[in-house]
Structure 1
Amino acid sequence: MSGPTATGPFQPVILGADIGVYALARAFHEAYGVTSVVVAGAALGPVAHSRIVEHEIVADGHDPQQLVDRLVEVAERHAGQRLLLMANSDWLVRMVVQHRALLEQYYAVPFLSEDLLDKISDKATFAEICDDLGISVPRTIVQDFAHAADAGWAPVPVDLDYPLIAKAASSADYQDVEFEGKKKVFEIATPEELTGLWGALRTAGFRGRFVVQELVPGDDTQMRSVTAYVDTHGTITLLCSAHVLLEEHTPSGLGNPAAMVVTRDDAMLGQAARFLTETGYRGFANFDVKVDPRDGRFRFFEVNPRIGRNNYYVTAAGANTVRFVVEDWLEGRAVDPVVVDREVLYSILPHRLLLKYVRDEQLAGRVRGLIRAKAVVHPLRYPADLSPRRRAYVWMAMINQVRKFRRWYPQVTETGF
């Protein structure tokens, strides 16, 4: 049988097909020269026509049973190899954790327990845990739709100042809910807008929980990202933080960083480490944090139970992410803890577009300096995997970013470059 008891070469198997999956495949190839098996419903642009990826396409990439069945088939074809299973979206992590008993017969499954996943994936529960640990979060009100089908149901009052933020407490509960105007995150300007959202969610059959939070002021440059890895013994072996410069602003991608500078911030990393230690966390984690300009405090928004879509910023700064999980799970070796401090610009945007939005002159100067020093990385621009088709895709993706920002986040001022 393949899996953790095997002794042959190791084989990464990754669920999904987005830019974060390609970043993982690139990290595996850079560190070990291996090709990753990618299991998904389609070979989407980020992983299409790649020399470092072997595709396993299922008929329905949203059907857990099809994905699990294909994972078993892949494992049986790689009998004798050490198989490492990775996933990089919340619902896929949940699927893996829920099928852990079966999948661990074949794979190393480096994820947290289902009980802890349920707790930390829920933004309402996450806020409660942070409060208990003295970690600051935005003021949060929970709206429970469990009984929304009842005739007498009414939403709880919200006494926060407007505008405010509303989002699903658990992305798994929200995944398959469809209604006009659906977004990942809602910025609500008036009580009437909030009432309309509650009505749309109720009518669409949503029966999970939504959180309403105070809007922490400041633009995208107030955001921070923290990536960490906790090994099987509970030791935090990787910590890395980044200063976000610009996020995506399309309805489906809202909040995903599009450009970041790796910047070590020990105070913020210390709070993230406290959360991971006190909760008994295992595996990769990615925190979304915002610096509140009113008092300079870090407001922790959520923790993703995975490495994150933009994980390549860590590898680009000198700490190849997959080394930590390979040596922990497959080699059984303790890795000396690493706190990343090399400054690198991670960006999926044309430089001119990015600098158009970075209006703080000191921050823009840092960006220009990194560009001049060629300390810049785009996760899809991997020299070992740039066929003509891949080059064309990356070029078109950059052009498309200009179009998306022009439509969804227009900006009239320009710093120039």
Structure 2
Amino acid sequence: MNQEIDFQPVLLGSDINVYGMARSFHQEYGVKSVAIGKGILGPCTASKIVTVEVVEPNLEDDQVFVKTLLDFAKRYEGSGKKLLLVPCGDNYIKLLVRNQEKLRGTYVFECISEELLMRLSIKESFYQVCTEHGFAFPKTTTCSYENYKNVELPFDFPVIIKPSNSVAYWNCRFPHKKKVFVAQSREEFSAILEAIYSSSYKDHLILQEYIPGDDSNMRVMNCYCGRDGKVKLIALGNALLEEHSPEGIGSYAAIINGYDEKLNQQMKNFLEGIGYVGFANFDMKYDHRDGTYKLFEMNLRQGRSSYYVTAAGYNLAKWLVDDVLYHKDMECTVAKNKVLWTIIPLKIIFDYVKSESVKAEAKALIKAGKVCHSYYYEGDRSLKRWVHYKKNQFHYFEKYKRYFGNKGLRD
């Protein structure tokens, strides 16, 4: 750890992703992060390692975003500290990319162009990019507000239904809303589409074939690409369980680090081929029918569960700082260490994971002391935080009991 830190991490958001990055910064540099967001969420509540310094409900407005960040930076004038800006959500990375020229010089950061952002953030164009680079993905079609009542599906049920525009979908409201739906029949399919388009959401929907297999077939990969457009870090994770609450479907709840040389090289070639810069996060599922990984989506940031990378000994904050602030020469590192990362109680893992081999690997890691809970950090303990942590863990038992396996239009 450096004796004197010449930078201040400024994180955008206040969710578990923000807390994971703050924990990474604190572990590596002993520095307390500050955050700016639309609100203060549970993970950053009563924390000693990150403080949400600005709450601005209208932060997704471009003018408000720029003004808020420029005003906040004035607090550090004369401090000699560089402000390292780290977006931790889809909305924030889009805001940063659109307004990057207005913030450069005040904040230190690297990000992609707006043109590349549009190609990668809209799922239809993302799948086109995937095709160009040889990635497999589920059979996919789309529908729109104009044609959803008459859409024809080129594959059988079950069908996955998810938004093309995740930011617009996040801001809409309707009964029984879920982050992702799975329709088992044409009748259920029609009802879900009707519910979505009865809300403020009017953008396209992605309709995909369902890839067989439970949560343990999901894979997540986090990568970091340097200022020079070269991949510096690759870290694969094998999911044990996902969250199953309406707002959490598709988010990982427990992960063990994995390794796949062929996939690592394919992802490296892809990112360097498109000229990517910064953190990238990929969701995919292993398809036992043909032995391939089917790529679902790419997030233009570190993933919500990305602390599993730091937990295994590859501190995400260090890669970012060494590249963006200190301009160090860095070779590509492929993560091979293993740890059991979780945000849920261990009992839930063993109650709901079906695969005996996966449970055996988890037990072995626990026995070896290689287990990490994102919310629980020795460097961030207090009575208030402990109470919040225990409540959070208790509620997961209720959520899994109520929602496990429910991806339909019902509670």
Return the TM-score normalized by structure 2: 0.93
Q: Determine the structure 2 residue equivalent to 1:272.
A: 267
TM-aligned CA deviation for residue 183 of structure 1: 1.7
Partner SS state of residue 42, structure 2:
coil
Letter in 2 for 1:99: N
TM-aligned CA deviation for residue 240 of structure 1: 0.2
State whether structure 2 residue 50 is matched by structure 1 residue 38: no
RMSD, aligned α-carbons: 1.9
Q: Determine the structure 2 residue equivalent to 1:388.
A: 383
Q: Determine the structure 1 residue equivalent to 2:156.
A: 161
Q: Determine the structure 2 residue equivalent to 1:91.
A: 91
TM-aligned CA deviation for residue 287 of structure 1: 0.2
Letter in 1 for 2:376: R
State whether structure 2 residue 339 is matched by structure 1 residue 344: yes
Deviates more, 1:95-104 or 1:265-274: 265-274
Q: 1:8 to 1:318 in 2, by over 3 A?
A: closer
Q: Determine the structure 2 residue equivalent to 1:408.
A: 403
Q: Does the CA-based 8 Å contact 1:177-1:206 persist in structure 2? A: yes
For residues 191 and 44 of structure 1, the distance between their equivalents in structure 2, rounded to whole angstroms, comes to 37
TM-aligned CA deviation for residue 381 of structure 1: 1.4
TM-aligned CA deviation for residue 136 of structure 1: 0.4
Letter in 2 for 1:233: D
For residues 101 and 310 of structure 1, the distance between their equivalents in structure 2, rounded to whole angstroms, comes to 30
Residues 296-325 of structure 1, C-alpha deviations (whole Å, 9 max, x = no match) = 211011110000111110001111001111
Give the counterpart of 2:24 among 13, 22, 27.
27
TM-aligned CA deviation for residue 241 of structure 1: 0.4
Residues 72-108 of structure 1, C-alpha deviations (whole Å, 9 max, x = no match) = 1221111232111111111111111111111113112
For residues 44 and 294 of structure 2, the distance between their equivalents in structure 1, rounded to whole angstroms, comes to 34
Letter in 1 for 2:248: G
Q: Does the CA-based 8 Å contact 1:247-1:257 persist in structure 2? A: yes
Give the counterpart of 1:263 among 254, 258, 261.
258
For residues 396 and 343 of structure 2, the distance between their equivalents in structure 1, rounded to whole angstroms, comes to 8
Q: Determine the structure 1 residue equivalent to 2:315.
A: 320
Partner SS state of residue 43, structure 2:
coil
Q: 1:311 to 1:153 in 2, by over 3 A?
A: closer
Q: Determine the structure 2 residue equivalent to 1:254.
A: 249
Structure 1's consecutive aligned runs of 4 or more residues displaced over 6 angstroms after TM superposition are none
- Equivalent positions of 1:197-236 (< 5 A) are 197-236=192-231
Q: 1:205 to 1:393 in 2, by over 3 A?
A: closer
State whether structure 2 residue 367 is matched by structure 1 residue 369: no
For residues 95 and 365 of structure 1, the distance between their equivalents in structure 2, rounded to whole angstroms, comes to 43
For residues 378 and 41 of structure 1, the distance between their equivalents in structure 2, rounded to whole angstroms, comes to 25
Q: Report sequence identity in percent.
A: 35
Give the counterpart of 1:331 among 322, 326, 333.
326
| Consecutive unaligned residues in structure 2, runs of 5 or more | 407-411
Partner SS state of residue 227, structure 1:
strand
TM-aligned CA deviation for residue 154 of structure 1: 5.3
TM-aligned CA deviation for residue 61 of structure 1: 5.4
Q: Does the CA-based 8 Å contact 1:42-1:58 persist in structure 2? A: yes
For residues 29 and 148 of structure 2, the distance between their equivalents in structure 1, rounded to whole angstroms, comes to 56
Letter in 2 for 1:210: L
For residues 200 and 397 of structure 2, the distance between their equivalents in structure 1, rounded to whole angstroms, comes to 36
TM-aligned CA deviation for residue 295 of structure 1: 1.8
Deviates more, 1:91-100 or 1:299-308: 91-100
TM-aligned CA deviation for residue 115 of structure 1: 1.1
Q: Determine the structure 2 residue equivalent to 1:127.
A: 127
Q: Does the CA-based 8 Å contact 1:23-1:312 persist in structure 2? A: yes
Partner SS state of residue 46, structure 1:
helix
For residues 8 and 390 of structure 1, the distance between their equivalents in structure 2, rounded to whole angstroms, comes to 26
For residues 410 and 121 of structure 1, the distance between their equivalents in structure 2, rounded to whole angstroms, comes to 28
TM-aligned CA deviation for residue 374 of structure 1: 0.9
Letter in 1 for 2:132: D
- Equivalent positions of 1:63-212 (< 5 A) are 63-64=60-61, 65-79=63-77, 80-145=80-145, 148=146, 155-212=150-207
TM-aligned CA deviation for residue 238 of structure 1: 0.3
For residues 408 and 382 of structure 1, the distance between their equivalents in structure 2, rounded to whole angstroms, comes to 28
Q: 1:220 to 1:153 in 2, by over 3 A?
A: closer
Partner SS state of residue 313, structure 1:
helix
Deviates more, 1:58-67 or 1:254-263: 58-67
Partner SS state of residue 172, structure 1:
helix
Deviates more, 1:102-111 or 1:245-254: 102-111
Deviates more, 1:52-61 or 1:347-356: 52-61
Partner SS state of residue 162, structure 2:
strand
Q: 1:84 to 1:59 in 2, by over 3 A?
A: closer
Letter in 1 for 2:21: L
TM-aligned CA deviation for residue 42 of structure 1: 2.8
Q: 1:375 to 1:129 in 2, by over 3 A?
A: same
Aligned residues: 400
Partner SS state of residue 204, structure 1:
coil
For residues 194 and 403 of structure 2, the distance between their equivalents in structure 1, rounded to whole angstroms, comes to 25
For residues 215 and 170 of structure 1, the distance between their equivalents in structure 2, rounded to whole angstroms, comes to 20
| Consecutive unaligned residues in structure 1, runs of 5 or more | 1-6, 412-417
TM-aligned CA deviation for residue 25 of structure 1: 0.5
Partner SS state of residue 44, structure 2:
coil
TM-aligned CA deviation for residue 48 of structure 1: 1.2
Partner SS state of residue 181, structure 1:
coil
Q: Determine the structure 1 residue equivalent to 2:394.
A: 399
Partner SS state of residue 224, structure 1:
strand
Q: Does the CA-based 8 Å contact 1:58-1:67 persist in structure 2? A: no
Residues 130-157 of structure 1, C-alpha deviations (whole Å, 9 max, x = no match) = 1122110001002133xx3xxx985431
Partner SS state of residue 260, structure 1:
strand
Q: Does the CA-based 8 Å contact 1:246-1:257 persist in structure 2? A: yes
Q: 1:153 to 1:130 in 2, by over 3 A?
A: closer
For residues 316 and 5 of structure 2, the distance between their equivalents in structure 1, rounded to whole angstroms, comes to 22
Deviates more, 1:274-283 or 1:317-326: 274-283
Partner SS state of residue 131, structure 2:
helix
For residues 203 and 384 of structure 1, the distance between their equivalents in structure 2, rounded to whole angstroms, comes to 46
Letter in 2 for 1:135: F
Q: 1:13 to 1:294 in 2, by over 3 A?
A: same
